[in-house]
Structure 1
Amino acid sequence: MTSVIQRLHRLRWAFLAAAVVMIVVFLFAQRQTVDVSYAQSPSGKAAVTEGSAGELTDTDLPSVAELTGMLERDRVVRLPGSIAHWDEKLVTDAIGDADIRILVTPPGLTKQQQDRLREVENATIRIVGTKTGGTLYSGVADDNAGWRAQFATGDVTGPLIALIASERDQDGTPPDIDLLRWRAPTAAELAPVVADLRADRLHLAQGATLESIPDRADTAFPDRSPLIAAFPQQPFGQPVPEYGAALAGEFPDTPIVVMYGSWAEYHGPDAESFSEVVAAGVYSRFGERLAAYAYPQANALGVYLDKVTDVRYAGLFDRPLPYQPFDPLRVALPALPWLFAFCVLVFLGLSVRSVVGPRGGPPRAAPARLAGLTTLAIEMSGLSHDPALVRAITKLEEARASVVDNLPGRHVRRLLDGAESELDTAARELGRADYRPVNYLAGGVA
């Protein structure tokens, strides 16, 4: 028979093993990770092969020698199809008497064509699309106002002046320059836009390259389908009709995306903060590539809608979060340290018990009583085969093991009482009053 002490020993080591497992799981779960969303954003981020998105143009560049000769004759050479513009007076004043020559090309040049531009040694500054680069550095916008002017009107005045200062080794940071001016659209301008949006949720102005509403629009705005108005790049130096604010008044509480060239902006619920966050996320990451290549508006809008989806899935602006499955490990992790402490305490408690013995062990008289009853059983075994005697011997063996294992006195007394009762029954069956335990033990063990 497996003793109680052995079972307690096994239980003690089982609690220790459980404590070890819990602390290992808890420690491995503490690895450092970076996660900016509460769920996996379904925004499209598939890689696109170079040239497959319609970003390249069929531009025939003059040879390096021809471009060099053109720059020797003129300080500014603008090739056909160029879209970059700047404030002539501000740039001329910034150049001063320095020999700075500027080569401006259309967007969408291949990598080989851009490499050929670098071979034009007398070009101090090269502008591809609206991407502005100098001898060592590039000039880029660094805020929403700068990106808005660059992608809505082709304005590169700020980056160009910053590059000129770098080429002239001038210290200090050039001031921010925002030449974009807005005006309210006239009733004649606004009417067809509103009519198209009411009919098809989409307005395409003449010159816009967008053809339809991308499928990503409903993913970006699942609560209510957005309205989209697309316009071509606006003329530089002229006030731009501010359709966003006007449309927000016509369609209250409705998501609205307005595009000017490659610039997309949001109007509608949470527009004051939401629009700035999304625009900064898109153009700080993709602005350099959008500037150098001739992407259709559908591509720029797709990137913008993906960012809207990412921001929404990040749980900002009180937007509803997507369903997240129950994670047992995430729920259990906070409780693991407490379960670990409990298992350790149980292990220590059982360890102390095995060293000092359980409280309330066998009484001091138990060994003497056990010896007396055992002697009586031995004497009676030669005279009787009564079942009561067999049961008494079994209980005495259990009592002996319990005394050795230092089990509680109550348990030992119960076994000895049972054995004494069985021996008394066997003595009565023999008709030997002297073998009754009360008489036998009273006279002492012979």
Structure 2
Amino acid sequence: MADRFPRPRPEWLRWAVLGVAAGILVIFLGAQRQSIEVSYGASPSTAQRIDQEPPGSAGVPSVEEMSALIRAKPVVRLPGAVASWDEAAVRAAAGGAEVRILVAPPGLDKAEQDRVRDVEGATVRIIGTQVSGGLYRSTGSTAADWRSQFATGDVTTLLMGLVAELNDQPAPAETDRLARRDPSAAELRAVTADLRRTGVHVAAGATLTEVPAAAAAAAFPGRRALYVALPQQPAGKPVPRYGPALAASFPDTPIVVMYGSWIEYDGPDAAGFAELATATYYGRFGDLLSRSAYPQRAVLATYLDRAADVRYSGLFDRPLPYRPLDPVRVALPALPWLFTACVVAFLLLSARSVRRPAPSAPSLGTPARLAGLTGLAVEMSALTSRASDPALTRGITKLLAARDALAGNLPDPHARELLDDAEAELDEAAQHLPFDGYRPGDYLRRRPA
């Protein structure tokens, strides 16, 4: 009797790959709802505010008095005014049109500012270094504009742009009007001596009284920065650039130099940090600083807060925060491909289990085929079940009829037709058995000739 064959691996393997595919799908969908977010802590900046303008000591005359002054002269400078400009360049930008300019000091309260704006006959009004005229206000947008405005009080670029707009003239070309020079040996010695002794140099005329310690610690954690405070520099003269020279004398040390309300940074990460800190600080507070009279300590404290915020953004000398390993996130890009592979494997394995025509039996003579199918029927009868009984019974009946046809010498085609019917019935019965290998085509192929 032929051996009994267990089900081959593909039968259980296809269900295994289907289970894996289902598991992958559940994991993938679940990962869409969860994530690990790691960010930097809040900046420890001290949140210095300069939104409220400090009360100034300067004042302005009445609207009528200022209107009379501006009618009498094309340029009126009120006591305490700090703005200056290149008159020839401004006249050229105006295209020959008459320009009357009223210059007021910084630090005016709101009522005083309103009086300046109400003056009749003034083409341009300047409060501190804030330039306005008509419906327009001219503001700096580059580091060169802010440097000239806050380091020296030079508003030439702002005035040129405004008067050109008011008189429908072409916009003047943008130029850096601030000339720079290296500090002399004597200047550098005086500054470095103070820095080595106290870490701070305050020149005559500067208003810095102390460095805000909390803001400085937040801006430059773990490092002792050096500070130089200078008054607003004379317009039209080269301004000494202390930063690079001091950075060479104090390597790997943050250097902060103030020229009036203009602040420059040199030292570690200066190439990217200085430009970013300048843009964020003066882009936000430039208009407020231009019309106000803040002491240098307030200006420096707010700048250091902005520097701390920039550093806490993770752009400079700060390691990325620890991010715990998430295996699901790491494997997530591969999960759709694994799911697809499992589905394809399941379909391929399932295709082998789909009912298909019985394999063709080898070419046997009618008596040999009758003997083979009879032996198969005998073996299957020992394994029969309720599901396979009807087909097996019909198959045996056909085999008995085929045997009688051969014994009675009936035509061979009639016997073969009966055997074909018997083989079909046995094939149907074999599909209900708990073992493979009993389909007629497989059985007759294994049977010895």
**Same fold at TM > 0.5:** yes
Q: TM-score range by the shorter chain?
A: 0.5 to 0.7
**Structure 1 unpaired stretches of 5+:** 30-36, 374-402, 413-446
| Aligned equivalent of 2:275 | 276
Q: Compared with structure 1, are the counterparts of its residues 404 and 207 closer, same or farther at alpha carbon in structure 2 (3 Å cutoff)?
A: farther
Count of residue pairs brought into register by the alignment: 367
Contact 1:281/1:307, CA 8 A, preserved across alignment: yes
Contact 1:219/1:309, CA 8 A, preserved across alignment: yes
SS of structure 1 residue aligned to 2:335: helix
2:321 matched to 1:324? yes
Q: Compared with structure 1, are the counterparts of its residues 356 and 96 closer, same or farther at alpha carbon in structure 2 (3 Å cutoff)?
A: closer
Cα distance in 2 for residues equivalent to 1:248 and 1:372: 96
Which structure has more relative contact order (CA 8 Å, sep 6+)? It is: 2
Cα distance in 1 for residues equivalent to 2:23 and 2:179: 72
2:376 matched to 1:370? no
Cα distance in 1 for residues equivalent to 2:205 and 2:323: 50
Question: CA offset at residue 111 of structure 1?
Answer: 3.9
2:55 matched to 1:42? no
2:335 paired residue among 333, 336, 339: 339
Spell out the pairing of 1:40-439 with structure 2 (5 A cutoff): 40=41, 42=43, 44=45, 46=47, 48=49, 50-51=51-52, 55-95=54-94, 97-171=96-170, 173-214=171-212, 215-313=214-312, 316=315, 319-328=316-325, 332-347=328-343, 349-350=345-346, 357=353, 368-371=381-384, 409=436
The residue type paired with residue 285 of structure 1 is R
- The root-mean-square deviation of aligned C-alpha atoms, in Å, is 4.2
Question: CA offset at residue 408 of structure 1?
Answer: 6.6
2:18 matched to 1:19? no
The residue type paired with residue 370 of structure 1 is L
Cα displacement string for residues 304-335 of structure 1 (whole angstroms, at most 9, x for unaligned residues)? 3344344445555xx53235122445x64352
Structure 1 or 2, whichever has the larger Rg, is 2
Question: CA offset at residue 339 of structure 1?
Answer: 1.8
Cα distance in 2 for residues equivalent to 1:6 and 1:250: 78
Cα distance in 2 for residues equivalent to 1:115 and 1:404: 101
Q: Compared with structure 1, are the counterparts of its residues 145 and 352 closer, same or farther at alpha carbon in structure 2 (3 Å cutoff)?
A: same
**Which deviates more from structure 2 when the two are superposed, residues 92-101 or residues 37-46?**
37-46
Cα displacement string for residues 333-389 of structure 1 (whole angstroms, at most 9, x for unaligned residues)? 352131233234435545666686499xxxx9886333389xxxxxxxxxxxxxxxx
Contact 1:357/1:406, CA 8 A, preserved across alignment: no
Q: Compared with structure 1, are the counterparts of its residues 184 and 46 closer, same or farther at alpha carbon in structure 2 (3 Å cutoff)?
A: closer
Cα distance in 2 for residues equivalent to 1:49 and 1:210: 16
Q: Compared with structure 1, are the counterparts of its residues 17 and 178 closer, same or farther at alpha carbon in structure 2 (3 Å cutoff)?
A: same
Cα distance in 2 for residues equivalent to 1:55 and 1:14: 70
Contact 1:358/1:406, CA 8 A, preserved across alignment: no
What is the TM-score with the length of structure 2 in the denominator? 0.67
**Structure 2 unpaired stretches of 5+:** 1-10, 356-375, 387-429, 439-449
Question: CA offset at residue 138 of structure 1?
Answer: 2.4
Cα distance in 1 for residues equivalent to 2:31 and 2:14: 26
Cα displacement string for residues 8-44 of structure 1 (whole angstroms, at most 9, x for unaligned residues)? 9799478436415515745998xxxxxxx97456153
SS of structure 2 residue aligned to 1:302: helix
What is the TM-score with the length of structure 1 in the denominator? 0.68
Contact 2:208/2:229, CA 8 A, preserved across alignment: yes
Cα distance in 1 for residues equivalent to 2:123 and 2:49: 32
Cα displacement string for residues 76-100 of structure 1 (whole angstroms, at most 9, x for unaligned residues)? 2222222111123333454465232
The residue type paired with residue 180 of structure 1 is L
Cα distance in 2 for residues equivalent to 1:180 and 1:113: 31
SS of structure 1 residue aligned to 2:25: helix
SS of structure 2 residue aligned to 1:371: coil
Question: CA offset at residue 149 of structure 1?
Answer: 1.4
Contact 1:76/1:101, CA 8 A, preserved across alignment: yes
Q: Compared with structure 1, are the counterparts of its residues 151 and 13 closer, same or farther at alpha carbon in structure 2 (3 Å cutoff)?
A: same
